[in-house]
Amino acid sequence: MAEPGIQLEMNFDSNRNRFKANLNEGNFFVLFEANPPSRQADLEASKERLTELEFAVAGIETLPAGLAITDRYTTVDTWNVADYASALSPSDRDRHLVYLSGRGVTRQELLATAGLFNAAGFPNVTPVSGNSIPGENMRQTASRHFVESVHAIRELQALYEGHIHLGCVVNPFKYNATDLLWQYFKVIKKINQGAEFLVTQFGWDMMKLQELRWYLEFRGQHVPSIARILMLTPEKVESISSGKYPGVNISPDFQIILQNELKYSFTQFEAAQWRRIQLQAAGCRLLGYSGIQLAGIERPDKIRIAAARIAEALDEFKHFDDWKKAYLEYLSRAEMAPYPYRFYLFNQLFSQAYPESDPRMNDAAIPAPGWKERFHYKLNRFMFSHSASQAAEEHFMSKKLLVHCPGCKACRLPFTEYVCPNTCPKGLANGPCGGTKVDGTCEVGPFECIHSRRLRLAMWRSHIDELEEHYIESGE
């Protein structure tokens, strides 16, 4: 959160934005991720390490590069992202991307931190709703306040139009149709609210990364895209396999590959990861991505190695077919989708780099709502069709009984298929987060994501377009 006393040096060269220029000019850009430390760590020592990372990035001559400063991604209680980022050189802040997490802050606190960044010459900002804390249950997650990224994008665009370069996040690594369609509906909504580029969740299925690019082309959304890539370590393999990274899945085939790699010496395991990053980076460029964001590279010497390896791969692979052959051979043609979930939106992926003018889409086969859901919807519509224009406390007991209303300050039931958005542990109204599990259940419990029910009802009513077109206000 933005705290009294946090100050950043002012940067009045507000017209320069090298990150944005490189994306728009098609220069493949590489971001190296840096995470603010927990409050148990010494802040000044952490800021010194950050300046060392920045110095390493500034010394890269083979391709344009910068840092991506995350916000409350890894731990519950971290130093303020603005305080941490203040270590970065005022003359180079337009090369970097900063994230603003909505977890554990109020709307006013998030906007205050954004104001600090804007005044200090950080023009590139990506708001995120924020992930849950591994191990927390629904009640614990619901006790934390979340500012939805769609709301943050809309407000920041209105406040700083022309002075801020806004990004958004999307998770294309979804393998059941309901989850996947929601991710794409929501990313279009974010673009409509002012997002100018997007960053993906990290994953390993290049067909899913291609699918996202094809979908954006299909929709006429020529938005620069950055693929987030993770440098794996044995510890991270174990954490991902145990479900500690919401929304990140490893297929059984890929798990076998990683287990075999772990049998090698650490040097051989690391070499395998470097080669995988090379193949992912080169593939991203050939699939139309504007850059990558590398997570897990946390030392200056590793940044220099990564930059050199990526530059080699970009030079090695100039044609899609050559890259595809190398990628498939390296993975021994392993299945990257987590069985039994294997939904892809297009059926010609990997046949060519870019889609035809009208690529054929697969049938999503979303199940229709059952009679109980339809009856419940009709009853709620009869009872609460005017609730958005009424005082929030009106019919409260009926809403509590029928839709489990927790007592919102502004009722939005008529806009959400009469599914209360505050029954989502994060209170997200404009669509789900990217953290749902592979079977579509919520990241914090063994129950269906509430937005899956919304999608079924919207399709039954033939109002599917509203899911991406209708902006739903905050209930605060």
Q: Where are the domains of the chain?
A: 18-330, 371-469
| 312-325 as b/e: b if 16+ CB within 10 A | ebbeebeebeebbe
pLDDT of 14 reads 56
- The pLDDT value recorded for residue 445 is 83
pLDDT at 5: 44
Q: Looking at residue 76, what is its pLDDT?
A: 67
Which two three-digit tokens encode residue 115? 């104001």
With 0-12 / 13-18 / 19 or more C-beta atoms within 10 angstroms meaning exposed / middle / buried, residue 218 is: middle
pLDDT value of position 9: 55
Fold of 18-330: TIM Barrel (3.20.20)
Residues of the chain with pLDDT under 70: 1-14, 74-76
Q: Contact 454/440 with Cβ under 8 angstroms?
A: no
Continuous H helices in 194-251: 206-218, 234-241
pLDDT in tens, 397-425: 898 899 988 878 889 999 999 999 999 99
